[in-house]
Structure 1
Amino acid sequence: VDATKASVNYTNADEEAQKAYDAAVEAANAIVAKEGANADSAAVQAALEEVKAAKAALNGDSKLTNAKQAAQDTIDKLNNLNEAQKAAAKAAVDNATDAAGVTAASDKATALDGNMGDLKESVADVDATKASVNYTNADEAAQKAYDAAVEAANAIVAKEGANADSAAVEAALEQVKETKAALNGD
């Protein structure tokens, strides 16, 4: 009973299924208690069957599996994540032991996808920036800083890029913005 109540199948089950299991176990315990009523074998068998049926009706495993599958499907649709980030997000979902953990992993991946989109956008105009007077007439150090920031950003957003977390993505985004703003060719 304790092992069942500690299981994912019980802890993630619908409340009604948990209550039905608890009630069936309580009824069975009343029969086997020393001071319990003198039940015949049919009553004992019926109580045993009720506990088995209630245990079988626990749906926590299937609910967790469904939540994980939905999260995996969501992650598959996040177009800004690179392959390493998707793999890490899916692993976090797989390792979650409850619905809250699945939701947290999915939300984290969605937030990272947004940050990656911002980073991609920040380097989308690199050709126009490099062709601008502000870049071509800028100090060489400012140009090199911008080029390095763009290169670092491109390394992250590449499909084969590293598993950069939100903090690393935000830092790369800020670096691109700052070095672009520091171009002094105008």
Structure 2
Amino acid sequence: MAELFDMYERAQEIAKYLGEDWKAIKGTWPGNTNARIVGPEDESLHLGLSQARRTRGLIEIAGEIPTSFSPRAGSGHVMFVSRERSAKRVATKIMEKVLPDYVPALAWALERKARREWMEGVRGEVAKVLLAELPDAYQLEHSPEVIKFNGGTTPYKRVGGYVRILDDKTLEWRFWSNSVQDGRTVARLIDSTESVGS
């Protein structure tokens, strides 16, 4: 059985040379066979032994980015080094080969993630208003940005439709009815409605 390599210990050594704001944290694999080095701006470098045929036995160092927010495949954020290479030399290689590409990609991803979370919050607030105000309204489980309404009446025929919350300033409305007069009623309503927020 191959001797286990203490990746957490190696991560601690490398972190010292990356700067005082960098620190190593233990991984979740058995026997400290993986670890992470985290930086001051949410950087996270994963260290583990590669299992790929061409790089087996080398330390794989990969900059981590939330998958759904990555601008592209992260091949530019990965490097492989020998277990025998000094911690100082590995840190230098990280600064030369990984961080220049990884740091701006991570910043872009985190900004996109924050924007989505903010947008989800805005949509949630708008959805609450629509659900309270529209007749027989409900939110689509698979598309929470869409509110359908099946009720409501005009003096002429029953109407319904859906609202799609596009962003904090834009709603996409779709009405259905079997009465042309309903269309005229909606048109007059739009013409007489003051702008949102006034």
**TM-score, with normalisation over the residues of structure 1?**
0.32
Structure (1 or 2) with the greater strand fraction: 2
**TM-score, with normalisation over the residues of structure 2?**
0.31
Structure (1 or 2) with the greater helix fraction: 1
